[in-house]
Amino acid sequence: MKLEKLPIEFEEALPLLEKIKKAGFEAYFVGGSVRDVLLDRPIHDVDIATSSYPEETKAIFERTVDVGIEHGTVLVLENGHEYEMTTFRTEDVYVDYRRPSSVSFVRSLKEDLKRRDFTVNAFALNEDREVIDLFDGLTDLENRVLRAVGIASERFNEDALRIMRGIRFSASLDFDIDKQTLAAMSACAPLLEKISVERSFIEFDKLLMAPHWSKGLDALIATGAYDYLPDFQGTASKWRAFQTLIKKDYQFLSSEQAWTAVMIVLAIAQPKGFLKKWKTSVQFQKRVTQMIEVFQSRQSSPLTSWQVYQYGKELIQEVEALRTAFGMEADFERLAKLDQDLLIHDKHDIVVNGGILMSELNLKPGPDLGRMLNQVEQAIVKGELFNDKEAIFNFVKNKI
Ligand code: ATP
Ligand code: MG
């Protein structure tokens, strides 16, 4: 199959393919971007696979960066862009179900395409705009089916992350998973325990953020993969609840918002500890915890200026949006008004501080002073006190 037109990203990268060819090697566009072009989806990174070995690639181009030589990847800087150029390789020996124990560089495109996970991820595109399709990926693309390259059970045994990738691709592409591939995913699901949590998180997160997350959850349930992910044992019915409680076409706005929904629907008692097990950042844990807090408070009461002050408008906006995902009412107007009316946005906006209170009103340092400052802060945020020196001095004098 020959493409009539290439997207600009590929057009701009064509001279690289030609340069490699001139030097006597082969080079192709490969991976997700070829799939996305065929699906008429926007592409992000242009990946190039080549028969040249890393040292040979480096000799062909003027500006290169070693980003992953041991995996055969060289970053080429050309016409203002960066391209990952990876030597054809096979990953033959997997000892621990995670990473190939050795990578062998090869000169054959076919060998390289064979080690890829799904047929629709195993296309190559050459400089004549011809699609090389060794595994009938075009038929699968036509039928919107995700199928493992080669013998499915072997492929998931080699690298169990492919199970998570499969679930996530079904959510992002809106593809069904081929029957045999799905059966192999189920059979190999226990191997997910051997996959690093960080890598599983990335895939799970992409699944939640995908437009067809509900389809991805179907695959998660069908494969039983949840049983082998941190703290998700026995959660099939909860994921089904997730699918019914949250509007199917809702598109999550951020990872934090998506995981907030997960914590709420799965009724996770200790979200922080849970997210720690998933090895997320402290910042991530904090934001999710805050979103849960606001969400829960909103079940019974309207937003307060203190919440807007504490968490910021953006976070609460996402919580209100999440309420709509659950079919509840959102109050964006009140949020905008509360935010607009805030006299301060930060403690440091207050015109007095501990030092000033001590010198002006003869207060002593210590916990009482801290409590006093907190009261001042709260009163200003609630609109009960102006952020004005005289007003604050009077307020404090009244309190002592
Ligand atoms: P995305 O659109 O999310 O970037 P992608 O298909 O480009 O999807 P990448 O993770 O960027 O996925 O990987 C690029 C390509 O490398 C894939 O299309 C696939 O051919 C191959 N690949 C990546 N990870 C694996 C894996 N674990 N096993 C086999 N092949 C893989
Ligand atoms: Mg990619």
Residue 203 confidence (pLDDT) = 98
Cβ(177)–Cβ(152) below 8 Å: no
Rounded CA-CA distance 163/182 in Å is 9
Per-residue b or e along 280-303, where b marks 16 or more CB atoms closer than 10 Å to that residue's CB:
beeebbebbbbbbbbbeebeeeeb
CB atoms within 10 A of CB 197: 15
> pLDDT-based confidence at 344, cuts 50/70/90?
very high
Per-residue pLDDT of 15-47, as tens digits, reads 999 999 999 999 999 999 999 999 999 998 899
What is the pLDDT averaged over residues 75-100?
Answer: 81
The separation between CA 393 and the C-alpha centre of its own chain, rounded to angstroms, equals: 49
Question: Could you give the count of Cα atoms lying within 13 Å of 353 in the half-sphere of its Cβ?
Answer: 5
CA distance 322 to 314: 12
Q: What would the mean pLDDT of 167-174 be, rounded to a whole number?
A: 98
> DSSP letter string over 202-213?
HHHHHHHHSTTH
Q: Does 97 have pLDDT greater than 70? A: no
Which ligand is located closest to the Cα atom of residue 165? 1
Cα separation, 286 vs 199, whole angstroms: 21
Summarize pLDDT for 269-326 with one digit per residue, the tens: 999 999 999 999 999 999 999 999 999 999 999 999 999 999 999 999 999 999 999 9
What is residue 78's three-state secondary structure?
strand
Around ion ligand 2, which residues have CB less than 5 A away? 32
- What is 154-218 written as a DSSP string? HHHHH-THHHHHHHHHHHHHT-EEPHHHHHHHHHHGGGGGGS-HHHHHHHHHHHHHSTTHHHHHH
**Nearest listed ligand to the Cα of residue 195:** 1
Per-residue pLDDT for 156 more than 90? Answer: yes
Which are the contacts of 8, defined by CB distance < 8 A and separation ≥ 6?
Answer: none
- The DSSP element (H or E) to which 281 belongs, if any, is none
- Ligand 1 centroid to residue 291 C-alpha, Å: 32
Residue 117 alpha carbon to ligand 1 centre in Å: 7
Show the tokens assigned to 370: 């801290």
Give the single-character DSSP code of 119.
G
Q: Does 238 sit in the ligand 1 pocket, CB within 6 Å? A: no
What is the best residue among 89, 110, 117 to mutate for testing ligand 1's pocket, by most ligand atoms within 8 Å of CB?
117
Q: Is the pLDDT of residue 98 over 90?
A: no
Write the residue with the smallest CA distance to atom 28 of ligand 1: 117
Nearest atom in ligand 1 to 161's CA: 27
Q: Work out which ligand 1 atom sits closest to the CA atom of 159.
A: 27
Give mean pLDDT, residues 122-139: 97
**What one-character DSSP code corresponds to residue 231?**
T
Confidence of residue 91 (pLDDT cuts 50, 70, 90): confident
Please say whether the beta carbons of 218 and 236 come within 8 A: no
Say how far apart CA 197 and CA 126 lie, in whole Å: 36
pLDDT surpasses 90 at 99: no
Q: How far is CA 218 from each of CA 145, 146, 303, rounded to the nearest angstrom?
A: 15, 14, 35
Which is more confident, 34 or 104? 34
Please count the CA atoms within 13 angstroms of the CA of 66 that sit on its side-chain side: 7
CA of 234 to the centre of ligand 2 (A): 32
Nearest CA to ligand 1 atom 17: 31
Query: Ligand 2 center to residue 45 CA distance, Å?
Result: 6
Using one digit for the tens of pLDDT, what is the confidence trace for 53-86? Answer: 999 999 999 999 999 888 899 999 998 999 999 9
Per-residue model confidence (pLDDT) at position 42: 94
Q: How many CB atoms lie within 10 A of CB 362?
A: 8
Q: Which residues of 77-106 are buried (b: 16+ CB within 10 A; e: fewer)?
A: ebeeeebbbbbbbbbeebeebbbbeebebb
So what's the pLDDT on residue 103? 78
pLDDT over threshold 70, residue 94: no
Residue minimizing CA distance to atom 14 of ligand 1? 31
Ligand 1 binding pocket mutation candidate from 116, 119, 120, 141 (most atoms within 8 A of CB): 116
Ligand 2 centre distance from Cα of residue 32 (Å): 5
Residue 4 has pLDDT above 80, yes or no: yes
Mean of the per-residue pLDDT values for the chain? 95
Ligand 1 contact via 162 beta carbon (within 6 Å): yes
Q: Is the pLDDT of residue 357 over 60?
A: yes
CA of 199, nearest ligand number: 1
- In this predicted structure, the answer to whether residue 363 has a pLDDT above a threshold of 60 is yes
CB-CB contact of 332 with 326 (8 Å): no
Q: Judge if the beta carbon of residue 287 lies within 6 A of ligand 1.
A: no
